[in-house]
Structure 1
Amino acid sequence: MIRIKRAYEEVKESDGFRILIDRLWPRGVSKEKLKIDLWLKEIAPSSELRKSFGHDPNRWEEFQSKYRDELKEKSELLIQIKKLEEKLGNISLIYSAKDEKHDNAVVLLELLNN
């Protein structure tokens, strides 16, 4: 099972294998506290896309479309996550955005579960 979780939430055993999917390390969180098993920054949106989106819900549809286009070029990373799920069971995709409905983790999760 793959799920998404904010970096600022408490780490739980049920999180399983924790993958940070942001290009930048979450502000104010130490490596010890975050307990990341894998930092897959290559799967994050490009810096250009992230900056143009700016977490503006009015740009959400455009962001989703452009991020999905970027992910088409990163199919090996999507396969890597699916293989980890098959091998380990629970996978948590860790992200730091405040908006839990409009962020790259939502797009990535939807893509992985289809």
Structure 2
Amino acid sequence: MDDPSADDGFRVLVDRLWPRGLSKERAALDLWAKDVAPSTELRKAFHHTDLSWPDFEAAYRAELDGPARTAVESLRAELAPHPMVTLLHAVADESHNHALILRDALEA
């Protein structure tokens, strides 16, 4: 996770687990939205088995449209008044991570 920047606006952690070794002070969060993160089962399947990115993406989108729909709608409403929002995550791969999928769902 990158250090806070003045350009971040409203900072939202979108991981289900707190990032290892990160203090709450250093994180400088405005909100921890763990209910919109991939389910524990899906996260483990992606990181510990051979679940492909396209399969993960489809499964996570299904979670966002199903069980996590209320959490997504609540988060969307909470973010609405903020002109700039930064979704924070502890995934090293910047092109294959759940925050990108969540961003699309929030913007839809």
- TM-score under structure 1 length normalisation: 0.84
Of structures 1 and 2, the one scoring higher in RCO (CA 8 A, sep 6+) is 1
Structure with the largest fraction of strand: 1
Alignment of 1:18 onto 2:5: no
In structure 2, relative to structure 1, the CA distance for the partners of 1:81 and 1:108 (3 Å cut) is same
Structure 1 segment 1-114 matched on structure 2, within 5 A: 7=1, 9-54=2-47, 59-72=52-65, 73-114=67-108
Unaligned runs of 5+ in 2: none
- The count of aligned residue pairs is 107
- Distance in 1 of aligned mates of 2:6 and 2:49: 33
Is the Cα–Cα contact under 8 Å of residues 18 and 91 in structure 1 kept in the other structure? yes
Unaligned runs of 5+ in 1: 1-6
SS in 2 for 1:14: coil
Question: Which of structure 1's runs of 4+ aligned residues deviate more than 3 A?
Answer: 55-58
Is the Cα–Cα contact under 8 Å of residues 21 and 44 in structure 1 kept in the other structure? yes
Is the Cα–Cα contact under 8 Å of residues 45 and 51 in structure 2 kept in the other structure? no
Report the identity percentage. Answer: 38
- TM-score under structure 2 length normalisation: 0.88
* 1:50-82 deviations in Å (ceiling 9; x for gaps): 011118897100000000111112222222232
